[in-house]
A = this chain, B = another copy of it.
């Protein structure tokens, strides 16, 4: 790839990340991204074939830290319930960091053709590790599926994001999910 192309690609992704984070997916138009980045829409579309692909690239770096967050939550103090809740809260925090991302990503769970498929796998893996860790302690009620957890907590995150709920409201819902999943 030519040097100017690399520069443009990075600048576009940076600008897009900033705009999406501030305003949310729907409120940012491709024209706006192009204009802000100082390129034509043609250039934009050569680098990112659709708006969703651009979004995917924009939130890339952010997603990559999710595994570290899972480890951190699991390594924390407290009993299984505390650690599970810590993970749930971190997960919701992640998903709601970019407005509109929670629903888009949770919607794409299980759809291999989605532009977000790679991100979904990352999230699924993180949840799987949490399930494995707690399961080996015998803390979970029967069989708990990582995908099921992704969807449940992703659903909560989507609602929290959309209705702009505070951390207490989010926590009260996560407590329900946690208690529903934990043994005893």
Contacts and interface: CB of A to CB of B under 8 A. Distances in A.
A29 interface: no
A167 interface: no
Interface in A7-46: none
Interface in A163-184: 163, 169, 172-173, 175-181
A106 B106 CA distance: 15
Given A110-B163, A163-B151, A175 B180 contact: yes
A145 B163 contact: no
A148 B169 contact: yes
A181 B172 contact: no
A97 to B, nearest CB: 18
Contact of A107 (B110, B163, B172, B180): B163
Interface stretch (A52-60, A71-79, A123-131, A152-160): A152-160
A79 B151 CA distance: 27
